[in-house]
Amino acid sequence: MNDESLTGLVTGPNLLSYIETLSLQDHNDIADCNNIATQSADLGHDRYTDAKGWFEEYARTLNFLGWALHGDSIFTRTQHLVSGSVADFLVQSAWSMRDSRQANAMIDTLDALKIERLAMLSFDNETREGESFQIIPARYDTQNNLNIAVYKLQLNVNIKKRGFLFWNWEQRSATITQQRIFLRLDRSDLERKRGLIRNKLNEQSMRRFNLRRIAS
Predicted confidence (pLDDT) per residue in 175-215, tens digit:
999 888 999 999 999 999 999 999 999 988 789 999 998 87
CB crowding 6-22: b at 16 or more within 10 Å, else e: bbbbbbbbbbbbbbebb
How many angstroms from the chain centroid is the CA of residue 70? 17
pLDDT band of 83, cuts 50, 70, 90: confident
pTM for this model (two decimals): 0.92
Q: What is the pLDDT of residue 72?
A: 55
Nearest CA among 204, 208, 211, 210 for reference residue 42? 204
DSSP 170-207: PTTSEEEEEEEEEEEE-HHHHHHTHHHHHHHHHH----
* Contacts with 19 (C-beta within 8 Å, 6 or more apart), sequence order: 101, 102, 105, 137, 138, 139
Average pLDDT of the segment spanning 139-153: 94
Tell me the domains of the chain and their CATH numbers. Answer: 10-198 (3.40.198)
Q: What digits encode the pLDDT tens for the residues 18-45?
A: 998 999 999 999 999 999 999 999 999 9
The rounded percent of the chain whose pLDDT value lies above 70 is 95
